[in-house]
Structure 1
Amino acid sequence: MNDTTQRPPFPDRLSIDPRSPYHIAAIFEHDVGIKLNDKERFDVEEYCISEGWVKVPAGKALDRKGNPLLIKVKGKVEPFYR
């Protein structure tokens, strides 16, 4: 396995969308997990630690560009490496 010293630290805000200014490709080279209110979530698209929210898809609904519609869920956000 990789040593924890080789893993980049988590930023305050991170997105999985490569078009987003909050996307950092070096972090996604490792397996990343997100806990919201001490429960692991597997559908997180974006998070912000300082504001305490994650964005998750709202069912199967899509916007006009074909991207999933996202809803903001608030709580205690904890990113971690698996």
Structure 2
Amino acid sequence: MTEATPNDQAAQPARPELPDHLSVDPRSPHHVAAIFEHDIGIRLNGKERHDVEEYCISEGWVKVPAGKTVDRKGKPLLIKIKGAVEAFYR
């Protein structure tokens, strides 16, 4: 009898497919809670970004906070940066 190793495919939970459009904000219609149970990464123009709040692969943009600026509800103001977007699991 063989023992299951931690690197075994059956031991790892199934990861859902990454969507084309995803948002960190739970109130957004593009928020998928199951995705955030896993560690994901975003590359914009070949450079990994750690401050992405929302992305769209097909349209080629990410939204990131604009410094420390916040709106009247205390949420950060976001700016849209265009380029080649790639989402992946770490």
TM range, smaller chain = over 0.9
Using the alignment, how far apart are the partners of 2:62 and 2:36 within structure 1?
A: 17
Identity of aligned residues (%): 73
The TM-score normalised by the length of structure 1 is: 0.94
Structure 1: tracts of 5 or more residues without a match: none
User: 1:54 corresponds to which residue?
Assistant: 62
Task: Supply the RMSD in Å over aligned alpha carbons.
Answer: 1.7
Q: How does 1:62-77 map to 2 (within 5 A)?
A: 62-77=70-85
User: 1:27 corresponds to which residue?
Assistant: 35
1:19 CA drift (Å)? 0.6
Matched pairs, number: 82
The TM-score normalised by the length of structure 2 is: 0.86
Structure 2: tracts of 5 or more residues without a match: 1-6
Using the alignment, how far apart are the partners of 2:23 and 2:16 within structure 1?
A: 15
1:60 CA drift (Å)? 0.2
